[in-house]
Structure 1
Amino acid sequence: MDKTKQPYGTVLIKASHILDFLSNCDEPQTLNTIAKETGLTNSTALKILDTLLLIGYVQKNSELKKFSLGLSIIKYANKSMNNLDIKKIAQPHLEELQRLTNETVHLGIQDKDHIIYITKIESKSPICLYSKVGNSIPMYCSAMGKAILADLSDEEIKNYLDCNPLIKLTDNTIITKYDFMEEISKVRKMGYAYDNGEHEEDVICIGVSINGSNKKYGAFSVSLPKYRLTENFHRQIVDAIQNCKLNILNELQ
Protein backbone atom coordinates (compact mmCIF):
# COMPACT_ATOMS: atom_id res chain seq x y z
CA MET A 1 0.00 0.00 0.00
CA ASP A 2 1.35 3.40 -0.99
CA LYS A 3 1.64 5.50 2.15
CA THR A 4 2.92 8.57 0.30
CA LYS A 5 0.82 11.54 1.28
CA GLN A 6 -1.18 12.76 -1.67
CA PRO A 7 -1.92 16.46 -2.18
CA TYR A 8 -5.47 17.60 -1.56
CA GLY A 9 -7.07 19.36 -4.48
CA THR A 10 -4.87 18.74 -7.53
CA VAL A 11 -6.77 21.47 -9.37
CA LEU A 12 -4.93 23.96 -7.15
CA ILE A 13 -1.63 22.58 -8.40
CA LYS A 14 -2.81 22.97 -11.99
CA ALA A 15 -3.90 26.53 -11.23
CA SER A 16 -0.46 27.27 -9.77
CA HIS A 17 1.15 26.05 -13.01
CA ILE A 18 -0.97 28.54 -14.95
CA LEU A 19 -0.11 31.37 -12.57
CA ASP A 20 3.60 30.46 -12.69
CA PHE A 21 3.52 30.54 -16.49
CA LEU A 22 1.70 33.89 -16.67
CA SER A 23 4.04 35.42 -14.08
CA ASN A 24 6.98 34.77 -16.41
CA CYS A 25 5.28 36.31 -19.45
CA ASP A 26 5.65 39.96 -20.36
CA GLU A 27 2.58 39.85 -22.62
CA PRO A 28 -0.96 38.39 -22.24
CA GLN A 29 -1.26 34.80 -23.49
CA THR A 30 -3.88 32.88 -25.47
CA LEU A 31 -5.75 29.88 -24.09
CA ASN A 32 -3.96 27.56 -26.55
CA THR A 33 -0.54 28.77 -25.43
CA ILE A 34 -1.39 28.51 -21.74
CA ALA A 35 -2.72 24.98 -22.15
CA LYS A 36 0.29 23.88 -24.19
CA GLU A 37 2.88 25.37 -21.83
CA THR A 38 1.25 23.94 -18.70
CA GLY A 39 0.52 20.48 -20.08
CA LEU A 40 -3.26 20.88 -19.76
CA THR A 41 -6.08 20.38 -22.21
CA ASN A 42 -7.78 23.51 -23.49
CA SER A 43 -10.97 22.47 -21.69
CA THR A 44 -9.26 22.05 -18.30
CA ALA A 45 -7.21 25.23 -18.71
CA LEU A 46 -10.33 27.22 -19.59
CA LYS A 47 -12.28 25.98 -16.55
CA ILE A 48 -9.40 26.93 -14.24
CA LEU A 49 -8.95 30.31 -15.95
CA ASP A 50 -12.66 31.05 -15.56
CA THR A 51 -12.35 30.49 -11.81
CA LEU A 52 -9.16 32.55 -11.59
CA LEU A 53 -10.95 35.32 -13.48
CA LEU A 54 -13.82 35.20 -11.01
CA ILE A 55 -11.54 35.79 -8.01
CA GLY A 56 -9.34 38.30 -9.81
CA TYR A 57 -6.14 36.24 -9.98
CA VAL A 58 -6.09 36.63 -13.76
CA GLN A 59 -7.60 39.16 -16.12
CA LYS A 60 -8.74 38.76 -19.72
CA ASN A 61 -8.54 41.02 -22.71
CA SER A 62 -11.89 40.21 -24.29
CA GLU A 63 -10.95 41.68 -27.66
CA LEU A 64 -7.69 39.74 -28.00
CA LYS A 65 -8.94 36.75 -25.97
CA LYS A 66 -5.71 36.69 -23.98
CA PHE A 67 -4.99 36.24 -20.27
CA SER A 68 -2.57 37.88 -17.84
CA LEU A 69 -2.11 38.09 -14.06
CA GLY A 70 -4.88 39.96 -12.25
CA LEU A 71 -4.61 42.72 -9.71
CA SER A 72 -5.74 40.58 -6.77
CA ILE A 73 -2.79 38.20 -6.89
CA ILE A 74 -0.36 41.07 -7.49
CA LYS A 75 -1.75 42.69 -4.33
CA TYR A 76 -1.02 39.55 -2.31
CA ALA A 77 2.44 39.20 -3.85
CA ASN A 78 3.36 42.79 -3.02
CA LYS A 79 2.05 42.37 0.53
CA SER A 80 4.15 39.24 0.99
CA MET A 81 7.27 40.96 -0.31
CA ASN A 82 6.71 43.97 1.92
CA ASN A 83 6.54 41.66 4.92
CA LEU A 84 9.92 40.08 4.25
CA ASP A 85 12.25 41.00 7.10
CA ILE A 86 15.33 41.05 4.86
CA LYS A 87 13.69 43.59 2.57
CA LYS A 88 12.82 45.90 5.44
CA ILE A 89 16.29 45.67 6.97
CA ALA A 90 18.22 45.91 3.70
CA GLN A 91 16.21 48.69 2.03
CA PRO A 92 17.99 51.76 3.51
CA HIS A 93 21.41 50.19 2.94
CA LEU A 94 20.54 49.33 -0.66
CA GLU A 95 19.34 52.88 -1.22
CA GLU A 96 22.70 54.14 0.05
CA LEU A 97 24.46 51.65 -2.26
CA GLN A 98 22.49 53.01 -5.19
CA ARG A 99 23.38 56.57 -4.20
CA LEU A 100 27.09 55.74 -4.03
CA THR A 101 27.21 53.87 -7.35
CA ASN A 102 24.35 55.58 -9.22
CA GLU A 103 23.60 52.20 -10.79
CA THR A 104 20.64 49.83 -10.53
CA VAL A 105 20.53 47.78 -7.33
CA HIS A 106 18.63 44.50 -6.88
CA LEU A 107 17.73 42.40 -3.87
CA GLY A 108 16.74 38.79 -4.47
CA ILE A 109 15.81 35.62 -2.61
CA GLN A 110 16.21 32.01 -3.64
CA ASP A 111 13.12 30.16 -4.80
CA LYS A 112 14.11 26.57 -5.57
CA ASP A 113 16.59 26.88 -8.46
CA HIS A 114 15.89 30.53 -9.28
CA ILE A 115 16.40 33.99 -7.86
CA ILE A 116 13.29 36.14 -7.44
CA TYR A 117 13.73 39.91 -7.50
CA ILE A 118 12.06 41.43 -4.42
CA THR A 119 13.56 44.93 -4.67
CA LYS A 120 14.79 47.03 -7.58
CA ILE A 121 16.21 50.54 -7.12
CA GLU A 122 16.69 52.16 -10.51
CA SER A 123 19.74 54.07 -11.63
CA LYS A 124 19.29 57.71 -12.55
CA SER A 125 20.79 56.67 -15.89
CA PRO A 126 18.77 53.48 -16.37
CA ILE A 127 19.21 50.85 -19.03
CA CYS A 128 16.63 48.41 -20.32
CA LEU A 129 16.78 45.37 -18.05
CA TYR A 130 14.79 42.13 -17.84
CA SER A 131 14.53 42.53 -14.08
CA LYS A 132 11.24 43.47 -12.45
CA VAL A 133 10.08 42.87 -8.90
CA GLY A 134 8.53 39.40 -8.94
CA ASN A 135 10.50 38.19 -11.97
CA SER A 136 12.81 35.22 -11.57
CA ILE A 137 16.17 34.35 -13.12
CA PRO A 138 18.17 31.09 -13.21
CA MET A 139 20.86 30.99 -10.53
CA TYR A 140 23.67 29.86 -12.82
CA CYS A 141 23.64 33.00 -14.99
CA SER A 142 23.11 35.65 -12.33
CA ALA A 143 25.54 37.30 -9.91
CA MET A 144 23.13 36.84 -7.00
CA GLY A 145 22.58 33.19 -7.88
CA LYS A 146 26.29 32.43 -8.16
CA ALA A 147 26.96 34.18 -4.85
CA ILE A 148 24.35 32.02 -3.12
CA LEU A 149 25.59 28.82 -4.78
CA ALA A 150 29.19 29.61 -3.77
CA ASP A 151 28.13 29.31 -0.12
CA LEU A 152 27.10 25.70 -0.69
CA SER A 153 29.33 22.62 -0.68
CA ASP A 154 30.74 21.30 -3.96
CA GLU A 155 28.44 18.30 -3.64
CA GLU A 156 25.38 20.52 -3.30
CA ILE A 157 26.42 22.56 -6.34
CA LYS A 158 26.96 19.40 -8.38
CA ASN A 159 23.46 18.24 -7.42
CA TYR A 160 22.15 21.62 -8.58
CA LEU A 161 23.97 21.27 -11.91
CA ASP A 162 22.62 17.74 -12.39
CA CYS A 163 19.08 19.11 -12.14
CA ASN A 164 19.61 22.35 -14.06
CA PRO A 165 21.05 22.25 -17.58
CA LEU A 166 23.26 25.26 -18.36
CA ILE A 167 21.29 26.74 -21.23
CA LYS A 168 23.14 29.23 -23.43
CA LEU A 169 21.31 32.56 -23.14
CA THR A 170 24.10 34.78 -24.52
CA ASP A 171 27.56 34.25 -25.97
CA ASN A 172 28.96 34.66 -22.45
CA THR A 173 26.74 32.13 -20.66
CA ILE A 174 28.76 29.40 -18.92
CA ILE A 175 27.53 26.11 -20.36
CA THR A 176 29.81 23.37 -18.96
CA LYS A 177 29.87 22.00 -15.42
CA TYR A 178 33.66 22.21 -15.28
CA ASP A 179 33.72 25.89 -16.22
CA PHE A 180 30.92 26.63 -13.78
CA MET A 181 32.79 24.99 -10.89
CA GLU A 182 35.85 27.05 -11.86
CA GLU A 183 33.65 30.15 -11.73
CA ILE A 184 32.39 29.21 -8.26
CA SER A 185 35.99 28.80 -7.10
CA LYS A 186 36.71 32.38 -8.24
CA VAL A 187 33.62 33.67 -6.43
CA ARG A 188 34.77 32.06 -3.19
CA LYS A 189 38.23 33.60 -3.50
CA MET A 190 36.97 37.10 -4.42
CA GLY A 191 34.04 37.22 -2.01
CA TYR A 192 31.65 38.42 -4.72
CA ALA A 193 30.20 37.13 -7.99
CA TYR A 194 29.87 38.35 -11.57
CA ASP A 195 27.24 38.06 -14.25
CA ASN A 196 29.38 39.09 -17.21
CA GLY A 197 26.63 39.54 -19.77
CA GLU A 198 25.55 35.93 -19.21
CA HIS A 199 21.83 36.62 -18.95
CA GLU A 200 21.58 39.87 -20.90
CA GLU A 201 24.12 40.98 -23.48
CA ASP A 202 26.45 43.81 -22.39
CA VAL A 203 24.97 44.01 -18.87
CA ILE A 204 27.36 43.46 -15.97
CA CYS A 205 26.17 42.53 -12.47
CA ILE A 206 28.29 42.28 -9.34
CA GLY A 207 26.63 40.57 -6.38
CA VAL A 208 27.08 39.09 -2.92
CA SER A 209 25.06 36.75 -0.74
CA ILE A 210 23.58 37.70 2.63
CA ASN A 211 24.24 34.95 5.17
CA GLY A 212 24.23 35.49 8.91
CA SER A 213 23.59 33.58 12.13
CA ASN A 214 23.48 30.30 10.17
CA LYS A 215 20.61 31.64 8.09
CA LYS A 216 20.49 32.40 4.37
CA TYR A 217 18.65 35.62 3.58
CA GLY A 218 19.29 36.02 -0.15
CA ALA A 219 21.63 38.25 -2.15
CA PHE A 220 21.94 41.69 -3.71
CA SER A 221 23.73 43.10 -6.73
CA VAL A 222 24.62 46.19 -8.72
CA SER A 223 23.81 46.13 -12.47
CA LEU A 224 25.21 48.42 -15.13
CA PRO A 225 26.05 48.49 -18.84
CA LYS A 226 29.47 47.09 -19.66
CA TYR A 227 30.74 50.34 -21.19
CA ARG A 228 30.38 52.16 -17.84
CA LEU A 229 32.53 49.68 -15.89
CA THR A 230 36.03 51.16 -15.75
CA GLU A 231 38.74 49.63 -13.56
CA ASN A 232 38.42 52.39 -10.96
CA PHE A 233 34.63 52.22 -10.96
CA HIS A 234 34.80 48.45 -10.55
CA ARG A 235 36.83 48.84 -7.37
CA GLN A 236 34.43 51.50 -6.13
CA ILE A 237 31.42 49.23 -6.70
CA VAL A 238 33.06 46.23 -5.02
CA ASP A 239 34.01 48.31 -1.97
CA ALA A 240 30.49 49.77 -1.76
CA ILE A 241 28.89 46.33 -2.06
CA GLN A 242 31.08 44.82 0.63
CA ASN A 243 30.40 47.72 2.99
CA CYS A 244 26.67 47.41 2.28
CA LYS A 245 26.76 43.70 3.07
CA LEU A 246 28.60 44.36 6.34
CA ASN A 247 26.04 46.97 7.37
CA ILE A 248 23.12 44.63 6.62
CA LEU A 249 24.73 41.74 8.51
CA ASN A 250 25.36 43.98 11.52
CA GLU A 251 21.61 44.65 11.72
CA LEU A 252 20.79 40.97 11.35
CA GLN A 253 22.87 39.97 14.38
Structure 2
Amino acid sequence: MEEEKKPYGTVLLKAAKIIDHLSNSKEAQSLAVIAANTGLSSPTALKILDTLLLIGYVEKDEQTKRFTLGSALIRHANNRLANLDIIKITEPYLRNLQAGLDETVHLGILDKDEVLYVNKLETQKAIANINSRIGNTNHLYSSAMGKAMLAVFSEEELEAYLGRVELVADTPNTITDRAVLKEEIRNVRMAGFATDDEENDLDVICIGAALVVDNKLYGAFSVSTPKYRFDREKTIAKVLETKKNLLAELGKTKTFG
Protein backbone atom coordinates (compact mmCIF):
# COMPACT_ATOMS: atom_id res chain seq x y z
CA MET A 1 0.00 0.00 0.00
CA GLU A 2 1.41 3.38 -1.05
CA GLU A 3 2.21 5.74 1.81
CA GLU A 4 0.33 9.01 1.89
CA LYS A 5 2.64 11.85 0.94
CA LYS A 6 3.25 14.38 3.67
CA PRO A 7 4.37 17.97 3.09
CA TYR A 8 8.08 18.62 3.60
CA GLY A 9 8.52 21.55 5.89
CA THR A 10 5.33 22.97 7.40
CA VAL A 11 6.92 26.44 7.41
CA LEU A 12 6.30 26.57 3.66
CA LEU A 13 2.60 25.94 4.24
CA LYS A 14 2.54 28.71 6.82
CA ALA A 15 4.33 31.07 4.43
CA ALA A 16 1.77 30.21 1.74
CA LYS A 17 -1.04 31.21 4.14
CA ILE A 18 0.60 34.61 4.64
CA ILE A 19 1.11 35.14 0.91
CA ASP A 20 -2.50 34.14 0.20
CA HIS A 21 -3.76 36.57 2.82
CA LEU A 22 -1.68 39.46 1.45
CA SER A 23 -2.73 38.62 -2.10
CA ASN A 24 -6.41 38.84 -1.15
CA SER A 25 -5.98 42.08 0.81
CA LYS A 26 -6.54 45.42 -0.93
CA GLU A 27 -4.56 47.32 1.73
CA ALA A 28 -1.27 46.81 3.57
CA GLN A 29 -1.66 44.52 6.58
CA SER A 30 -0.34 44.74 10.14
CA LEU A 31 1.39 41.83 11.85
CA ALA A 32 -1.55 41.38 14.23
CA VAL A 33 -4.06 41.16 11.37
CA ILE A 34 -1.87 38.74 9.40
CA ALA A 35 -1.45 36.49 12.45
CA ALA A 36 -5.18 36.55 13.23
CA ASN A 37 -6.20 35.73 9.65
CA THR A 38 -3.69 32.93 9.13
CA GLY A 39 -4.07 31.21 12.51
CA LEU A 40 -0.41 31.80 13.34
CA SER A 41 1.06 33.28 16.47
CA SER A 42 2.55 36.75 16.07
CA PRO A 43 6.14 35.55 16.74
CA THR A 44 5.80 32.78 14.13
CA ALA A 45 4.23 35.09 11.58
CA LEU A 46 6.98 37.68 12.15
CA LYS A 47 9.79 35.13 11.63
CA ILE A 48 8.23 34.01 8.35
CA LEU A 49 7.61 37.59 7.24
CA ASP A 50 11.26 38.47 7.95
CA THR A 51 12.36 35.62 5.67
CA LEU A 52 9.88 36.64 2.95
CA LEU A 53 11.25 40.18 3.24
CA LEU A 54 14.79 38.94 2.62
CA ILE A 55 13.81 37.29 -0.68
CA GLY A 56 11.54 40.12 -1.80
CA TYR A 57 8.27 38.20 -1.57
CA VAL A 58 6.82 40.78 0.82
CA GLU A 59 7.57 44.45 1.47
CA LYS A 60 7.28 46.39 4.70
CA ASP A 61 6.46 50.05 5.22
CA GLU A 62 8.87 51.10 7.96
CA GLN A 63 6.59 53.92 9.09
CA THR A 64 3.33 52.02 9.41
CA LYS A 65 4.94 48.58 9.99
CA ARG A 66 2.45 47.10 7.54
CA PHE A 67 3.14 44.44 4.91
CA THR A 68 2.24 43.97 1.24
CA LEU A 69 3.26 41.51 -1.47
CA GLY A 70 6.78 42.16 -2.73
CA SER A 71 7.94 42.97 -6.23
CA ALA A 72 9.87 39.69 -6.59
CA LEU A 73 6.73 37.61 -6.11
CA ILE A 74 4.69 39.89 -8.37
CA ARG A 75 7.37 39.61 -11.06
CA HIS A 76 7.23 35.80 -10.93
CA ALA A 77 3.44 35.88 -11.16
CA ASN A 78 3.49 38.30 -14.09
CA ASN A 79 6.02 36.14 -15.94
CA ARG A 80 3.74 33.13 -15.48
CA LEU A 81 0.68 35.03 -16.69
CA ALA A 82 2.53 36.40 -19.72
CA ASN A 83 3.23 32.85 -20.84
CA LEU A 84 -0.38 31.64 -20.68
CA ASP A 85 -1.48 30.65 -24.19
CA ILE A 86 -5.07 31.77 -23.55
CA ILE A 87 -3.82 35.37 -23.21
CA LYS A 88 -1.90 35.24 -26.48
CA ILE A 89 -4.74 33.66 -28.43
CA THR A 90 -7.48 35.96 -27.12
CA GLU A 91 -5.46 39.19 -27.16
CA PRO A 92 -6.30 40.42 -30.71
CA TYR A 93 -10.00 39.62 -30.31
CA LEU A 94 -10.23 41.32 -26.93
CA ARG A 95 -8.35 44.36 -28.23
CA ASN A 96 -10.87 44.56 -31.05
CA LEU A 97 -13.71 44.33 -28.52
CA GLN A 98 -12.12 47.01 -26.35
CA ALA A 99 -11.62 49.31 -29.35
CA GLY A 100 -15.21 48.80 -30.50
CA LEU A 101 -16.71 49.83 -27.15
CA ASP A 102 -13.86 51.78 -25.55
CA GLU A 103 -14.65 50.20 -22.21
CA THR A 104 -12.56 48.04 -19.86
CA VAL A 105 -12.20 44.41 -20.95
CA HIS A 106 -11.08 41.56 -18.67
CA LEU A 107 -9.93 38.00 -19.28
CA GLY A 108 -10.08 35.45 -16.48
CA ILE A 109 -9.50 31.77 -15.79
CA LEU A 110 -11.00 29.45 -13.19
CA ASP A 111 -8.85 29.27 -10.07
CA LYS A 112 -10.41 26.86 -7.59
CA ASP A 113 -13.62 28.63 -6.49
CA GLU A 114 -12.71 32.03 -7.91
CA VAL A 115 -11.98 33.77 -11.19
CA LEU A 116 -8.36 34.87 -11.63
CA TYR A 117 -7.78 38.01 -13.70
CA VAL A 118 -5.06 37.28 -16.29
CA ASN A 119 -5.51 40.23 -18.66
CA LYS A 120 -7.04 43.70 -18.50
CA LEU A 121 -7.46 46.18 -21.36
CA GLU A 122 -8.45 49.57 -19.99
CA THR A 123 -10.58 52.29 -21.49
CA GLN A 124 -9.23 55.78 -22.10
CA LYS A 125 -12.50 57.28 -20.91
CA ALA A 126 -13.40 58.22 -17.37
CA ILE A 127 -14.22 55.11 -15.39
CA ALA A 128 -16.02 54.29 -12.18
CA ASN A 129 -14.20 52.50 -9.36
CA ILE A 130 -13.43 49.10 -10.89
CA ASN A 131 -11.54 47.04 -8.31
CA SER A 132 -9.66 44.71 -10.63
CA ARG A 133 -5.99 44.03 -11.22
CA ILE A 134 -4.18 41.32 -13.16
CA GLY A 135 -3.31 38.58 -10.68
CA ASN A 136 -6.25 39.32 -8.38
CA THR A 137 -9.22 37.02 -7.93
CA ASN A 138 -12.95 37.63 -7.68
CA HIS A 139 -16.04 35.68 -6.67
CA LEU A 140 -17.67 33.40 -9.20
CA TYR A 141 -21.16 34.09 -7.85
CA SER A 142 -21.13 37.87 -8.26
CA SER A 143 -18.92 38.60 -11.29
CA ALA A 144 -19.98 38.36 -14.94
CA MET A 145 -17.03 36.13 -15.82
CA GLY A 146 -17.65 34.02 -12.74
CA LYS A 147 -21.34 33.48 -13.41
CA ALA A 148 -20.55 32.62 -17.03
CA MET A 149 -18.16 29.96 -15.72
CA LEU A 150 -20.71 28.64 -13.21
CA ALA A 151 -23.13 28.18 -16.10
CA VAL A 152 -20.67 25.64 -17.54
CA PHE A 153 -20.71 23.58 -14.33
CA SER A 154 -22.84 20.45 -14.18
CA GLU A 155 -25.72 20.50 -11.70
CA GLU A 156 -23.64 18.35 -9.34
CA GLU A 157 -20.65 20.68 -9.62
CA LEU A 158 -22.83 23.73 -9.05
CA GLU A 159 -24.43 22.19 -5.96
CA ALA A 160 -21.00 21.28 -4.59
CA TYR A 161 -19.77 24.83 -5.18
CA LEU A 162 -22.79 26.34 -3.44
CA GLY A 163 -22.28 23.95 -0.55
CA ARG A 164 -18.75 25.11 0.18
CA VAL A 165 -18.83 28.83 -0.69
CA GLU A 166 -20.45 31.52 1.45
CA LEU A 167 -22.36 34.06 -0.64
CA VAL A 168 -21.22 37.36 0.86
CA ALA A 169 -22.72 40.68 -0.27
CA ASP A 170 -20.16 43.16 -1.61
CA THR A 171 -22.96 45.56 -2.60
CA PRO A 172 -26.74 45.68 -2.02
CA ASN A 173 -27.14 44.04 -5.46
CA THR A 174 -25.04 40.94 -4.74
CA ILE A 175 -27.09 37.74 -4.96
CA THR A 176 -26.78 35.89 -1.65
CA ASP A 177 -29.79 33.58 -1.99
CA ARG A 178 -28.73 30.22 -3.42
CA ALA A 179 -32.08 29.56 -5.12
CA VAL A 180 -31.99 32.97 -6.80
CA LEU A 181 -28.40 32.38 -7.94
CA LYS A 182 -29.29 28.99 -9.42
CA GLU A 183 -32.11 30.61 -11.38
CA GLU A 184 -29.67 33.28 -12.56
CA ILE A 185 -27.24 30.58 -13.75
CA ARG A 186 -30.05 28.85 -15.68
CA ASN A 187 -30.75 32.15 -17.44
CA VAL A 188 -27.05 32.55 -18.27
CA ARG A 189 -27.02 29.11 -19.88
CA MET A 190 -29.94 30.06 -22.12
CA ALA A 191 -28.67 33.54 -23.00
CA GLY A 192 -25.02 32.65 -23.60
CA PHE A 193 -23.76 35.57 -21.49
CA ALA A 194 -23.81 36.71 -17.86
CA THR A 195 -24.45 40.05 -16.20
CA ASP A 196 -22.92 41.63 -13.11
CA ASP A 197 -25.45 44.36 -12.30
CA GLU A 198 -23.53 46.41 -9.72
CA GLU A 199 -22.93 43.21 -7.74
CA ASN A 200 -19.19 43.77 -7.19
CA ASP A 201 -18.87 47.52 -7.58
CA LEU A 202 -21.64 50.09 -7.37
CA ASP A 203 -22.25 52.02 -10.60
CA VAL A 204 -20.44 49.39 -12.70
CA ILE A 205 -22.21 46.89 -14.97
CA CYS A 206 -20.38 43.98 -16.61
CA ILE A 207 -21.34 41.59 -19.39
CA GLY A 208 -19.30 38.38 -19.64
CA ALA A 209 -19.13 35.11 -21.54
CA ALA A 210 -17.34 31.80 -21.00
CA LEU A 211 -15.00 30.17 -23.51
CA VAL A 212 -15.80 26.47 -23.79
CA VAL A 213 -14.58 24.13 -26.55
CA ASP A 214 -15.32 20.39 -26.54
CA ASN A 215 -16.68 20.66 -23.00
CA LYS A 216 -13.42 22.21 -21.76
CA LEU A 217 -13.56 25.57 -19.99
CA TYR A 218 -10.65 27.74 -21.10
CA GLY A 219 -11.73 30.91 -19.31
CA ALA A 220 -14.09 33.85 -19.67
CA PHE A 221 -14.01 37.49 -20.67
CA SER A 222 -16.10 40.52 -19.79
CA VAL A 223 -16.73 44.19 -20.51
CA SER A 224 -17.05 46.58 -17.55
CA THR A 225 -18.90 49.86 -18.04
CA PRO A 226 -19.99 52.70 -15.74
CA LYS A 227 -23.74 52.51 -15.31
CA TYR A 228 -24.40 56.00 -16.67
CA ARG A 229 -23.04 55.16 -20.15
CA PHE A 230 -23.94 51.47 -20.34
CA ASP A 231 -25.45 50.53 -23.71
CA ARG A 232 -26.90 47.09 -22.97
CA GLU A 233 -27.90 46.11 -26.49
CA LYS A 234 -24.62 47.17 -28.09
CA THR A 235 -22.46 45.62 -25.35
CA ILE A 236 -24.24 42.26 -25.46
CA ALA A 237 -24.02 42.17 -29.26
CA LYS A 238 -20.27 42.89 -29.18
CA VAL A 239 -19.64 40.32 -26.43
CA LEU A 240 -21.55 37.60 -28.29
CA GLU A 241 -19.77 38.44 -31.53
CA THR A 242 -16.39 38.23 -29.79
CA LYS A 243 -17.38 34.97 -28.12
CA LYS A 244 -18.31 33.46 -31.49
CA ASN A 245 -15.00 34.52 -33.05
CA LEU A 246 -12.95 33.33 -30.08
CA LEU A 247 -14.64 29.93 -29.99
CA ALA A 248 -13.86 29.50 -33.69
CA GLU A 249 -10.22 30.43 -33.06
CA LEU A 250 -9.92 28.18 -30.02
CA GLY A 251 -11.54 25.35 -31.97
CA LYS A 252 -8.82 25.65 -34.61
CA THR A 253 -5.98 26.02 -32.13
CA LYS A 254 -6.58 23.76 -29.12
CA THR A 255 -2.84 23.47 -28.58
CA PHE A 256 -2.80 24.27 -24.90
CA GLY A 257 -4.06 22.61 -21.78
1:113 is displaced (CA, Å) by 0.6
**Structure 1 ranges of 4+ moved more than 6 A:** none
Residue of structure 2 equivalent to 1:162: 163
Give the fraction of aligned pairs with identical amino acids, expressed as a percent.
50
Residue of structure 1 equivalent to 2:102: 102
The TM-score, its normalising length taken from structure 2, stands at 0.93
Secondary structure, aligned partner of 1:188: helix
Deviation string, structure 1 residues 86-123 (Cα, Å, up to 9, x no partner): 00111111111011111110001111111111111111
Residue of structure 1 equivalent to 2:255: none
Trace 1:163-178 onto structure 2 (pairs within 5 A).
Answer: 163-178=164-179
The one-letter code sitting in structure 1 at the alignment partner of 2:232 is: H
1:197 is displaced (CA, Å) by 0.8
Residue of structure 2 equivalent to 1:236: 234
The one-letter code sitting in structure 2 at the alignment partner of 1:132 is: R
1:176 is displaced (CA, Å) by 1.2
Residue of structure 2 equivalent to 1:90: 90
C-alpha separation in 2, matches of 1:114 and 1:242? 23
1:236 is displaced (CA, Å) by 1.5
**Equivalent position to 1:247, from 245, 248, 254:** 245
C-alpha separation in 2, matches of 1:169 and 1:61? 28
C-alpha separation in 2, matches of 1:144 and 1:132? 14
Residue of structure 2 equivalent to 1:195: 196
RMSD: 1.5
Deviation string, structure 1 residues 29-68 (Cα, Å, up to 9, x no partner): 1111111111100111011111111111111112221111
C-alpha separation in 1, matches of 2:7 and 2:244? 42
C-alpha separation in 1, matches of 2:244 and 2:128? 28
Residue of structure 2 equivalent to 1:114: 114
Deviation string, structure 1 residues 164-184 (Cα, Å, up to 9, x no partner): 121122111111111011101
Aligned partners of 2:128 and 2:203 also within 8 Å: no
C-alpha separation in 1, matches of 2:153 and 2:27? 36
The TM-score, its normalising length taken from structure 1, stands at 0.95
Residue of structure 1 equivalent to 2:77: 77
C-alpha separation in 2, matches of 1:25 and 1:202? 22
Residue of structure 2 equivalent to 1:21: 21
Residue of structure 2 equivalent to 1:210: 211
Secondary structure, aligned partner of 1:13: helix
1:128 is displaced (CA, Å) by 1.8
1:3 is displaced (CA, Å) by 4.4
Residue of structure 1 equivalent to 2:254: none
Aligned partners of 2:205 and 2:224 also within 8 Å: yes
Trace 1:107-146 onto structure 2 (pairs within 5 A).
Answer: 107-125=107-125, 126-146=127-147
C-alpha separation in 1, matches of 2:174 and 2:129? 19
Residue of structure 2 equivalent to 1:151: 152
C-alpha separation in 2, matches of 1:172 and 1:25? 22
Deviation string, structure 1 residues 156-207 (Cα, Å, up to 9, x no partner): 1011000012112211111111101110111011110011111111211100
Residues matched between the structures, number = 250
C-alpha separation in 2, matches of 1:45 and 1:2? 34
Secondary structure, aligned partner of 1:141: coil
Aligned partners of 2:56 and 2:73 also within 8 Å: yes
C-alpha separation in 2, matches of 1:169 and 1:128? 14
1:2 is displaced (CA, Å) by 10
Aligned partners of 2:152 and 2:217 also within 8 Å: no
